[in-house]
Amino acid sequence: MFKLLTVFLLLCSANASAKFEISEKRIFFFSRDNSSAFTLVNSGTQPQEYVLSTQHWGHQAINQVADLIAYPPVFTLGPGEKQRVRLLLRDKDNLKPPIFFRLRLREQVPNETLNNTQLPTVFSFPVYYVDHEAKASLRLAIAYEARTGKPAKAIVNNNSNTVAHITAVRNGRNEVAPLDLVLRSEETYDFLLADTPLPISFQLKNGAWFTATGVVAKRNTP
């Protein structure tokens, strides 16, 4: 059995008051396609207005106009009704993947009921614009705890020019556990270990396995 510290990945700012269902919590937009799309359903008991906006995802996103357009940007759904939302890119021919966006969905509160206890709820979902021909790959290393000499974490880096979707992890006893982790290009994730037998390997959605062979210099690891 794996002895791994569980880390919860928040795909969106989930809230118990959400009154909708979305067909895709991760939205992929491939360079070969002219658009992408998802479906939103009002799962509440009252009509609800939804407002969509987009922004770039990353340290350069501040004050940057997003190249991604959500259409329609504003709509109202009755209970059980659904809306197909299209995603398009401005000047798509001049954009080079990968580019990462956040789709922001706001449940609008009517003015007559707006008060301190009922504020608009905003949810955020990742949108990945990637080259459909690019192949994902991983670069892995193990960091050891200096005081004990035990492996503390696996450092997982997406060293490809596309999104890396990790679906499983395997330890030195050949035990496999499911995993659902998406890394953007050049993004790094620290996978904490707790007496996990090495080597440790990670599987991508395409079925390829990558094993940690490199070692990071020993250091005091929190």
Cβ(201)–Cβ(167) below 8 Å: no
pLDDT in tens, 139-161: 999 999 888 888 999 999 999 99
> What pLDDT score was predicted for residue 212?
87
What is the phi/psi pair of residue 163, to 5°? -85, 140
> What pLDDT score was predicted for residue 13?
40
Cβ(163)–Cβ(28) below 8 Å: yes
In sequence order, the β-bridge partners of residue 186 are none
In sequence order, the β-bridge partners of residue 69 are 88
> What pLDDT score was predicted for residue 8?
30
Q: What is the mean pLDDT of each run of 10 residues along the chain (222 residues)?
A: 32 53 92 94 93 82 74 96 96 90 87 58 92 93 89 94 95 94 94 90 96 66 47
Identify the structural domains of the chain with CATH numbers, from first to last.
Answer: 20-130 (2.60.40.10), 138-219 (2.60.40.3970)
What is the phi/psi pair of residue 171, to 5°? -100, -175
Output DSSP code: residue 94: G
| Dist CA 39 CA 20 (whole Å) | 10
Alpha-carbon separation of residue 3 from 144, 169, 171 (angstroms): 16, 12, 10
